[in-house]
Amino acid sequence: MSATRKAHPFESLSFVLDRAPNSRSDKQRCFWHVEPTGDYGEECKIGQRFAIEYLRYRRSADPGGHGELGLIVRDMPPEHTGIEVGFLHIIDHAALARSIAPEQLVAYYDRKGAGL
């Protein structure tokens, strides 16, 4: 009997998809599995939520481990939708202004009615 594989915490992120063994893809994990809506503004908000989800994960992750941001970006489509733009915008702000929590930044945009 084989041992049960313990899920990596990264697998709990809503935009990560683990593929079944022997699937059509040679990649076992897709780090950016999202569905565009066609509504750019809504997509930006979805991307912002994904960024907050990722940043919360990173805060609780092993600080000695490597980040998965490069893997996420690698799996993004070449033509970005609002989802990718919203995600990267919040990640960029979090990297540049560590004193501003990404949740506060999104709340500020919501109050001002400002889009990306």
Q: pLDDT (tens digit, 9 = 90+) per residue, 17-62?
A: 976 555 555 567 899 999 999 999 999 999 999 999 999 888 887 6
pTM recorded for the entire structure = 0.74
Burial of 12 (0-12, 13-18, 19+ CB in 10 A): exposed
- Do residues 62 and 109 touch, judged by C-beta distance below 8 A? no
Asked whether the predicted pLDDT for residue 96 surpasses 90, the reply is no
The encoded tokens of residue 27 equal 């990649």
Residue with tokens 């997509």: 43
Domain that holds residue 105: 9-112
What is the rounded CA–CA span in Å between residue 82 and residue 84?
A: 5
Task: Please report whether residue 31 resides in a domain.
Answer: yes
Tell me how many domains the chain contains.
Answer: 1
Is 114 or 15 the better-scoring residue by pLDDT? 15
**Residues facing 28 on adjacent strands:** none
